[in-house]
Amino acid sequence: MQTGILGIGAIGQLLAQQLAAAGLEPWLLPRANTPSLAEQGEKQVYTLELGDQSLQTSFLCLAQDSSKLKQLELLLVTVKAYQVEAALEPLLPKLHPNCRILLLHNGLGPHQSLAAKLNGRPLSLGTTSQGALKLSSNHIRQTGSGLTQIGDLIGAPMPEVMKTTLLNAIPGSQWSDTILEALWQKLAVNAVINPLTAIHRVNNGALAAPEFEGTICAILDELLQVAKQEGIALTFDALHARVKEVIRLTAANYSSMYQDLKHGRKTEINYINGYLQQRAEQYGLTLPINSELVAQIKALESNLL
């Protein structure tokens, strides 16, 4: 199974290492404007720190115009939500008409804008709670294990052999026949934890304090109003329990949005609370709490960028 990984950030490198450990030889595709462009077309050594082990693997890095792109059967897209369209669109005409695209990012949105541009290529979606930290361009540390869920969204179902290969290679992964529901559950977790930790400059665990309870419930109530319109079956109790569990399990972590702002990077707010706001508008709903969070994060972003 010839696999490509678009975006070689921490999660892209982690998945590449996991696929390689399972005997696959994934090719890496840096985004077009990344500094490693000069190294494309060559094999590069990547290092994974896992506990006290250090694992080195070489991967072929493909140039954006490589004729090998046509050989890909599966392309894992691990760039940030706001980079998906710009990173993927120039590649689409160079991919085989049957090449399956698998999007793995926080938030929702790109699956809808891409749907019309795939020209019949099958689309699968995934979400991962595995944690990895980029130490330098070719060097990561795995910081946490966690559930990865994958499922089909558009077009032909994923062939059994591809499914088994992926699920065997990625530790803690499972197939989901209702992947959109799984992604909405993850959206709820991110809609609560990411903006609140970024605004209050606290770690995830701080959100267990009683003072946050009212806001957490209000965010989830608004999300449920939109999910209902979208035909996504979720319940308040299940979402609330899931959010509380993630707050407990990742108590010492600083959310990706906290870290994005801390390092002066753009956040994924438009694809998390902003996605909810945008879908709500379609249904004539207003989401005061989520809209306020979007405004506050954008204000913080514009002070830093």
Catalytic residues: 186
Q: How far apart are CA 116 and CA 176, in angstroms?
A: 23
- Residue 219 within binding range of ligand KPL, rule CB under 6 A: no
Selected binder of ligand KPL within 173, 190, 267, 290 (CB under 6 A): 190
- Residue 8 within binding range of ligand KPL, rule CB under 6 A: no
- Residue 207 within binding range of ligand KPL, rule CB under 6 A: no
87 burial type by CB count under 10 A (0-12 exposed, 13-18 middle, 19+ buried): buried
Q: How far apart are CA 222 and CA 278, in angstroms?
A: 12
Selected binder of ligand KPL within 165, 255, 270, 290 (CB under 6 A): 255
**Binding residues among 58-117 for ligand KPL as defined by CB under 6 A:** 106
Selected binder of ligand KPL within 189, 198, 261, 294 (CB under 6 A): 189
- Of the two residues 69 and 198, which places its CB atom closer to ligand KPL in the complex? 198
Q: Which of 156, 226, 137, 133 is nearest to 184 (CA)?
A: 226
Please report how close the Cβ of residue 15 comes to ligand KPL at its closest, in angstroms: 16
Window 227-246: contact mask with ligand KPL (x via CB under 6 A): -------------------x
Q: How far apart are CA 296 and CA 201, in angstroms?
A: 13
Contact of 146 with 172, CB cutoff 8 Å: yes
Binding-site size, ligand KPL (CB under 6 A):
12
Choose one: 13-21, 31-39, 58-66, 248-256; the region binding ligand KPL (CB under 6 A): 248-256
Q: Which ranges of the chain would DSSP assign to H, the alpha helix?
A: 10-21, 84-88, 110-114, 160-169, 179-200, 213-229, 236-249, 256-262, 273-282, 288-304
Contact of 70 with 45, CB cutoff 8 Å: no
- Residue 183 within binding range of ligand KPL, rule CB under 6 A: no
Choose one: 1-9, 47-55, 187-195, 297-305; the region binding ligand KPL (CB under 6 A): 187-195
The residues, any chain, with a CB within 8 Å of residue 78's CB and separated by 6 or more, are 5, 6, 7, 8, 9, 11, 12, 15, 104, 105
The residues, any chain, with a CB within 8 Å of residue 178's CB and separated by 6 or more, are 151
Please report how close the Cβ of residue 273 comes to ligand KPL at its closest, in angstroms: 13
- Of the two residues 129 and 229, which places its CB atom closer to ligand KPL in the complex? 129
- Residue 293 within binding range of ligand KPL, rule CB under 6 A: no
Q: Which of 138, 151, 137, 8 is nearest to 78 (CA)?
A: 8
Q: How far apart are CA 214 and CA 21, in angstroms?
A: 45
Please report how close the Cβ of residue 242 comes to ligand KPL at its closest, in angstroms: 10
- Of the two residues 28 and 193, which places its CB atom closer to ligand KPL in the complex? 193
- Contacts with ligand KPL, residue ranges (CB under 6 A): 106, 129, 189-190, 193-194, 204, 246, 250, 253, 255-256
